[in-house]
């Protein structure tokens, strides 16, 4: 974990990464695999000290002047989040409490860059246990987005709806978000939009007819599963689907299939 540095030292690695074009192609699972090979287990007290230092770093970054380079600050914050999330031993010992702080900085600096939401939203709601903050920050980012600006922006409405349904218990807000996702999907040029739009429309129908529908919750976990950036989230999603009565199987073509239970 790096410590608080001067502005020049802080921005140097970001500029270098931007020049090589590596920022937007990072994959969380790859970073996690690399860190798993090199990470040395430390005492909990060391992890706590590092977390306090990183908390101070994030407070500094939050108030850092951008000089017109907000996107660089956002990219750099996302890289720090990936490093933080990938430190599995540390996270298992002291948790993911700083996750919403990374998410907040990112949304404030570059809300139109949609890919990081797919990592930071489930990390905030599932791992940090703050779906309320995930919903608030995603909603804030959506104010800067549209299907024309980002063809996959409809996926943010899906993520928001999943948090509202699965973790906040606000079924009507979830239904509204699913309908908005379907609308944006219809207006999107994303090749996946039509398929996802059909699924979320069906989920909204489940919620209209039966606000406590297990099938609606299974659909929500299926959306989480389809967009999960890491194996832990995927396994959590499968377990939740099975607990709700859904049957999970894998075809010979290695395609995951979900059979929904009959509604009561």
Whether 251 shows a pLDDT value over 60: the answer reads yes
Residue with tokens 């929904």: 260
Higher pLDDT, 170 or 216: 170
**Cα–chain-centroid distance for residue 82?**
11
Q: How many CB atoms lie within 10 A of CB 201?
A: 16
Position 264 confidence tier, pLDDT thresholds 50, 70, 90: low
Label residue 40 by pLDDT band (50, 70, 90): low
Write the CA distances from 149 to 145, 189, 190, 244, integer angstroms. Answer: 6, 11, 12, 37
Strand ranges (E), the chain? 247-250, 256-259
Average pLDDT of every residue of the chain: 84
* Mean pLDDT, range 30-34, rounded to an integer: 46
Collect all residues with Cβ–Cβ distance below 8 Å to 167 and sequence separation of at least 6. Answer: 125, 131
| CB-count burial class (<10 Å; 0-12, 13-18, 19+) for 249 | exposed
Average pLDDT over residues 130-146: 97
- Residue 25 pLDDT > 60: no
Contact yes or no for 63/84 (Cβ under 8 A): no
**pLDDT bucket at 198, cuts 50 / 70 / 90:** very high
Helix (H, G, I), strand (E, B) or coil at 29: helix
3-state secondary structure of 256: strand
43 vs 53: CA distance, rounded Å: 16
Task: Give the per-residue pLDDT at 3.
Answer: 34
pLDDT at 154 (0 to 100): 97
Q: What is the band of 76 on the pLDDT scale with cuts at 50, 70, 90?
A: very high
Q: How confident is the model at residue 1 (pLDDT cuts 50, 70, 90)?
A: very low
In percent, the amount of the chain with pLDDT more than 90 equals: 60
Rounded distance, CA 103 to CA 1, Å?
Answer: 18
Which pLDDT value is given to residue 216? 86
The per-residue pLDDT for 183 is: 97
Contact criterion met (CB below 8 Å) for 98 and 55: yes
Q: What confidence category does residue 9 fall into, taking pLDDT thresholds of 50, 70 and 90?
A: very low
Residue 22 has pLDDT above 60, yes or no: no
Q: In this model, does residue 214 exceed pLDDT 80?
A: yes
pLDDT at 232: 82
Compute the average pLDDT of residues 127-156: 96
Residue 26 has pLDDT above 90, yes or no: no
For the segment 115-123, the average pLDDT, to the nearest whole number, is 93
pLDDT above 60 for 177: yes
Classify residue 118 as exposed, middle or buried by CB count within 10 Å of its CB (0-12, 13-18, 19+). middle
For the entire predicted model, the pTM comes to 0.77
Q: For 34-52, what is the mean pLDDT? A: 75
d(CA 234, CA 131): 17
């Amino acid at each position: 974990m790096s410590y608080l540095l001067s502005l020049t030292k802080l921005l140097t690695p970001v500029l270098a990464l931007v020049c090589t074009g590596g920022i937007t192609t990072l994959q969380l699972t790859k970073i996690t695999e690399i860190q798993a090979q090199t990470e040395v287990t430390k005492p909990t007290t060391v992890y706590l000290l590092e977390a306090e230092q990183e908390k101070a770093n994030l407070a500094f970054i939050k108030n850092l002047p951008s000089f017109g380079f907000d996107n660089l600050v956002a990219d750099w914050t996302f890289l720090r989040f990936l490093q933080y999330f990938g430190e599995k031993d540390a996270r298992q010992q002291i948790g993911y409490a700083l996750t919403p702080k990374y998410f907040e900085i990112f949304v404030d600096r570059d809300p139109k860059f949609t890919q990081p939401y797919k990592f930071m939203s489930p990390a905030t709601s599932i791992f940090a246990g703050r779906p309320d903050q995930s919903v608030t920050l995603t909603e804030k980012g959506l104010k800067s987005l549209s299907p024309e600006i980002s063809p996959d922006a409809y996926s943010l409405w899906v993520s928001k709806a999943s948090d509202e349904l699965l973790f906040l218990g606000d079924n009507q807000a979830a239904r509204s978000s699913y309908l908005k996702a379907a609308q944006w999907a219809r207006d999107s040029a994303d090749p996946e939009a039509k398929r996802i739009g059909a699924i979320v429309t069906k989920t909204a129908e489940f919620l209209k007819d039966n606000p406590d529908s297990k099938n609606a919750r299974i659909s929500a976990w299926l959306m989480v599963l389809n967009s999960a950036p890491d194996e832990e989230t995927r396994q959590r999603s499968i377990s939740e689907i099975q607990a709700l009565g859904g049957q999970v199987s894998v075809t010979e073509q290695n395609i995951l299939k979900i059979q929904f239970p009959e509604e009561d």
